[in-house]
Structure 1
Amino acid sequence: MAAARATRSSCGSRPGADPLAGRREVDVPSLVAAAREAHPRAVARALSLVEDAHPALREVMAALAPHTGRAHVVGLTGPPGVGKSTTTSAVISAYRRQGLTVAVLAVDPTSPFSGGALLGDRVRMGEHASDRGVFIRSMASRGHLGGLSWAAPHAARVLDAAGFDVVLLETVGVGQSEVEVAGTADTTVVLVAPGMGDGVQAAKAGILEVADVLVVNQADRPGADRTVRDLRGALALGARAEGEWRTPVLRTVATTGEGVDALVAAVAAHRDALGPAGLLARRRHRAAREVEALALDAVRARIGGVGAGDRLNRLAAAVAAGALDPHTAAERLVAALGPGPPGEGLSARR
């Protein structure tokens, strides 16, 4: 497969700029055909359409939809400084040794100046720049609390349709919001570092609930054994049905590659344990979240449309004055919106 690293960092539309400024026409059939062949420029262009919520995006996604569902989507998340990018790079190498092609979607903090990905094209993964079986793209989180940008699920579909065997979603990692990755990935890998605290803290952070594989990275540091014990002890307290997947706790030293092959094997074992039915159930849940998010985007866009903002302000004033209850106000606002134009939703965020 011909794939390569994207050299364009994700910039999207700058705050306050005309969202249509500079947008060129898109030859959708040619773009889709080239993207399905994993041509780097075509894949990068399709991802740009996703980030920019381009008017042609709906047509592109419709053409790509029949070709999705083949890639194994793996989420890698964890607190800042745990070594996610180094681990991601090591995991890429492990998959490439198996002959698998890999696409990486790295969600970075948003630059307050450009609105784009602050860390650009992930210099820490530079060793894979010349590998035509690897495609790496940064996307901006745009302040989204869970670390994943709103466009990430759609971008993952593009990479899936491009024929990559594995799609890695590496996220910003913001503590208690790892749950968002679980809704986007087939398998969620949560990284922690020695000394992160006991199993109770991990449970409070929601880590145990979302992790399909737990990894104590930097396992050559003091405290690694205790962290592993704490996590395993906390997992043992959870109720598990017979035959249900049991989350393993692994040790890695990503800088040397130690334990990475075992991590990749655990990810494969999780997919095997899910089986076709379990995988389909996860993907249906993910699709439901996508559809819901797009529908909510469409509603928000119409609420903020011409006249709707004034209507919302009047209803809010009535609620604040005690003349109206919030439920009735919401019903009136939704009823006043009426049917929207065809195709509304995908381009609501600009």
Structure 2
Amino acid sequence: MDIEKRLLEHDKRAAARLITKVENGDPEGYKILQTLYPNSGKAYVIGVTGPPGAGKSTLTDKMVKALRKQGKTVSVIAVDPTSPFTGGAILGDRVRMTDLSMDPGVFIRSMGARGHLGGISEATSAAVKVLDIMGSDYIFVETVGVGQSEIDIVKNCDTTLMIMVPGLGDDIQAIKAGVMEIGDVFAVNKADRDGAKRTAREIQMMLDFNKDKGWRPPVKMVIATENNGIDELIEAIHQHKAYMIENNLFESRRVENAKSEVLELIKERIERMILDQSQKEEALDAYAKRVAGRELDPYSAVDKVMMDMKVKI
């Protein structure tokens, strides 16, 4: 089966197979991506993040349906917490989007976070490229919802949608403190609940501290379950895209994203090299014991590991 040819023909099965390959670290998968990379860069990538229980999946579902009515093809990558026993995704966002999975213009994939604290699976950026090459107009990346460590989502997306809900109590301040700066558009979901307007006001107040930013993120009130405010939310995302293009920020954001990705890949490769050359971590474990026993400082341990690898820093 020629995955490359079928992917360029918008074949969803070819996309699914290639994503599985990159998730499993199959060199063939990355070789295909290297070949087809010039065909990527056309899709608009939207990150959807927020605390657990904010209704991210329901809101994503409604936005996808709205874009489908406009004739757009859409893909969704739902990054789930990973089972500590099987390594597989356990939330199963696809279960909550079953009717979408029957739409030929929609592709949905759940991916395990695999212990990655940024809320994003390490293979997510590769999966985004696969779906981009397949011809998706929009790609939604919905994250685990782990609070302050969601910062990684910015490195994969063109627009980041931050979803909040009323009733979070004191937790909302901690959540905001870490992630307010990554949101390009804010949505207060479940806006029919008590405290929704207060939550919106609090977000607006937090945004007032970023007066030096040219783009002031809009705060939209939505009720996803009733399809309320969805069109306005999509319009806000389009406005953010237009702002970035008009102010020559769109390309610079993608350059920053590419830089972050390259650095992340370098880190991963160095880590693999260290573990591969350490006889299944035995040498590394030995250094770690010496560091823990205060016989060796961690800085000298790094120098020794690099010397063992014959790598100059």
TM-score (norm 2): 0.92
| 1:88 alignment partner in structure 2 | 60
1:220 aligns with 2:182: no
Match of 2:124 in 1: 152
2:226: which partner in 1?
256
Matching residue within 132, 136, 139 for 1:164: 136
- CA RMSD in angstroms comes to 2.0
The structure 2 residue matched to 1:305, chosen from 266, 276, 292, is 276
Cα offset, 1:45, TM superposition: 0.4
Partners of 1:206 and 1:122 in 2: CA distance: 28
Q: Is contact 2:48–2:141 with CA below 8 Å preserved after alignment?
A: yes
> How many pairs were matched up?
309
2:237 corresponds to which letter in structure 1?
V
Shift of 1:205: 3.5
Larger mean CA deviation between 274-283 and 130-139 belongs to 274-283
Equivalent residue letter for 1:111? S
SS of equivalent to 1:65: helix
**Conserved? CA contact 1:159–1:167, under 8 Å:** yes
**2:48 counterpart SS class:** strand
Q: Distance in 1 between matches of 2:122 and 2:44?
A: 20
Displacement after TM superposition at 1:313 (Å): 3.6
What do the CA deviations read for 1:79-109 (whole angstroms, capped 9, x no partner)?
Answer: 1111111000000011111111100001112
Give the gaps of 5 or more residues in structure 2. none
What is the deviation of 1:317?
A: 4.4
Assess, with a 3 A threshold, how the Cα gap between structure 1 residues 82 and 127 changes in structure 2: closer, same or farther: same
Structure 1: how far apart are the matches of 2:20 and 2:286?
A: 38
Corresponding residue for residue 245 of structure 2: 275
Listed as ranges, the gaps of 5+ residues in structure 1 are: 1-26, 340-350
TM superposition shift of 1:44: 0.5
User: Where in structure 2 are the equivalents of 1:286-301 lying within 5 Å?
Assistant: 286-301=257-272
Question: Are 1:190 and 1:215, in contact at CA under 8 Å, matched by a contact in 2?
Answer: yes
Q: 1:49 aligns with which of 21, 41, 55?
A: 21
CA pair 311-246 structure 1, distance change in 2 beyond 3 A: same
CA deviation string 1:32-77 (max 9, x = no partner): 1111222111010011011111121221110121011111000001
- TM-score, structure 1 normalization: 0.83
User: Structure 1: which amino acid aligns with 2:113?
Assistant: S
Aligned to 2:107: 135
Alpha carbons of structure 1 residues 240 and 199: separation in structure 2 relative to 1, 3 Å? farther
Q: Which amino acid in the other structure matches residue 253 of structure 1?
A: I
**Partner residue in 1 for 2:304:** 332
Secondary structure, in 3 states, of the residue corresponding to 2:276?
Answer: coil
Read off the aligned partner of 1:289 and give its amino acid letter: S
- CA displacement, residues 186-241 of structure 1 (integer Å, 9 cap, x when unaligned): 10001010123479816754231010001000001111111111111221122324
User: What secondary structure sits across from 2:161 in the alignment?
Assistant: strand
1:79 to 22, 26, 51: 51
Aligned-pair distance for 1:325? Answer: 3.5
* Structure 1 stretch displaced more, 329-338 or 161-170: 329-338
- Structure 1 residue 239 corresponds to structure 2 residue 211: yes
